[in-house]
Structure 1
Amino acid sequence: MKSMKKVRILLADDHQILRDGLRTLLNTQEDMEVIAEADTGRKAIDLALCHCPDVLVMDVVMPELNGIEATSRLKKDLPEIKVLALSMHADRRFVAEMLKAGASGFLLKECAFQELAEAIRSIIKGKMYLSPSISKCVIEEYVGFLSGDEKEHTDSESALSHREKEVLQLIAEGKANRDIAKTLHISVKTVETHKYNIMRKINLHSVAELTKYAIKSGLTPID
């Protein structure tokens, strides 16, 4: 009898205990197997390019490179990969940005495991899956239900390049310019230039303000 082809899954979350739980539960499914795990957005990209999984279960807020940026980059190199976003919060901006980046589904971490399994099976068939509790977020976003403050915030964030968002996230995580340069394989002078441009574009004037902005934007975890 021919064995069933399993959905190959990459887990990306910075909390070990959550990954352990998800791996154990997913591996009990006859049609699924977890093939790799990542604790940063950057590692998620590297492992996905190495293992070419069918599905990437991606936390939205990740260290070093957040889930939105990681998804956007990965979909360019692996357009066939299905990304299922996980988040603690039903923030419609996070939902909208993950979907724009190429995610095929969005779940809240409070969901039951069976919903996660159902979502994976759904997106692997080419369908979109959204937690019922966040469907309203998507509707509000796509009918333009944004306040003036949110619109201004969205415009300022979209003015940043992918590299500037990377630098901003690393600054907010407390990395020194030298460490940022090493991580991104650029010069310290280039890091300083990016930092200056970021402050100019979003009209902020200190590392503290940048950190607060990055947390509010979901670019970096609060903890």
Structure 2
Amino acid sequence: MADEKGENPVTVMVVDDHPMWRDGVSRDLEAAGFTVSATAEGVESARRRAAAVQPAVVLMDMNLPDGNGADATTAVLEVSPKSKVLVLSASAERDDVLDAVKAGASGYLVKSASVAELLEAVRATFDGQAVFTPGLAGLVLGEYRRMSTAPADDRAPELPRLTDRETEVLRLVAKGLSAKQIATRLSLSHRTVENHVQATLRKLQLANRVELTRYAIEQGLE
């Protein structure tokens, strides 16, 4: 599958300790037009191969023989900082999802997802969107909301103040809605939604929607 300029195929690295699963996912990606530039079975092999091929997207399992997907995500992003990591795991445990997001993953799918859902998620991840299997974002939001009840002395300094509308848009971004979907939901124009998103990014000094989604999760917004 070509990139947004239609020039080069999107490169993907598949990290999974099960050869049959790894090979099957690789075949599905190749059949859809992506280029599988590397595969890896663990944390260290993922680090080495990511450094060598600099994949656009990394499909990351959580259970690896020499660590976990969060460790591997950190390792990959250290050597290939422009890569975007999409976790594809059999685990839907809250701690796994939370650890993956903290490590820098852009999204989290469970392996029960269909091939079509997986391919769509890889494309969305490449495009800078945060992708979660329905319900998982809510689990993470709930955990951060629980953490936000810690004593005031333990909380972070006061954050930039967002308008009610910016907060409303941010909540919907965190749920994985596109600007078009948010515009429809709130009866706004697409341009107005994008203006709110850009204003929020500036206020929070964030670079893109992935960081914006991570911020929303950390603040317990929904």
- Root-mean-square deviation (CA, aligned residues, Å) is 1.8
CA distance in 2, matches of 1:145, 1:112: 33
Aligned pairs for 1:78-89 (under 5 A) are 78-89=80-91
CA distance in 1, matches of 2:140, 2:69: 18
SS in 1 for 2:67: coil
CA contact (8 A) 1:90 1:137 kept: no
CA distance in 2, matches of 1:72, 1:78: 10
- Aligned partner of 2:67 in structure 1 is 65
Matched, 1:56 2:58: yes
Aligned pairs for 1:162-173 (under 5 A) are none
Q: How many residues align?
A: 144
CA distance in 1, matches of 2:73, 2:6: 31
SS in 2 for 1:26: helix
Question: CA 1:123 to 1:139, structure 2 compared with 1: closer, same or farther past 3 Å?
Answer: same
- Give the % identical residues: 35
Once the two structures are TM-superposed, the CA of residue 65 in structure 1 deviates from its matched residue by 2.6
CA contact (8 A) 2:61 2:87 kept: yes
Structure 1: gaps of 5 or more residues: 147-223
- Aligned partner of 1:5 in structure 2 is 8
SS in 2 for 1:85: strand
- Aligned partner of 1:118 in structure 2 is 120
Once the two structures are TM-superposed, the CA of residue 3 in structure 1 deviates from its matched residue by 6.2
CA distance in 1, matches of 2:137, 2:91: 13
Once the two structures are TM-superposed, the CA of residue 145 in structure 1 deviates from its matched residue by 6.5
CA distance in 1, matches of 2:95, 2:6: 42
CA contact (8 A) 2:106 2:131 kept: yes
Question: CA 1:145 to 1:111, structure 2 compared with 1: closer, same or farther past 3 Å?
Answer: farther
Amino acid at match of 2:39: E
- Aligned partner of 1:139 in structure 2 is 141
Q: TM-score, normalised by structure 1?
A: 0.61
- Aligned partner of 1:15 in structure 2 is 18
Write out per-residue CA displacement over residues 87-129 of structure 1, whole angstroms, 9 at most, x where no aligned residue. 1121111101100100001000111011111111111111111
SS in 2 for 1:132: coil
Write out per-residue CA displacement over residues 64-83 of structure 1, whole angstroms, 9 at most, x where no aligned residue. 13211121132233221100
SS in 2 for 1:68: helix
Structure with more contact order per residue of length (Cα contacts < 8 Å, sep ≥ 6): 1
Q: Select 1:130's aligned residue among 122, 129, 132.
A: 132
CA distance in 1, matches of 2:65, 2:39: 14
Q: TM-score, normalised by structure 2?
A: 0.61
Structure 2: gaps of 5 or more residues: 149-222
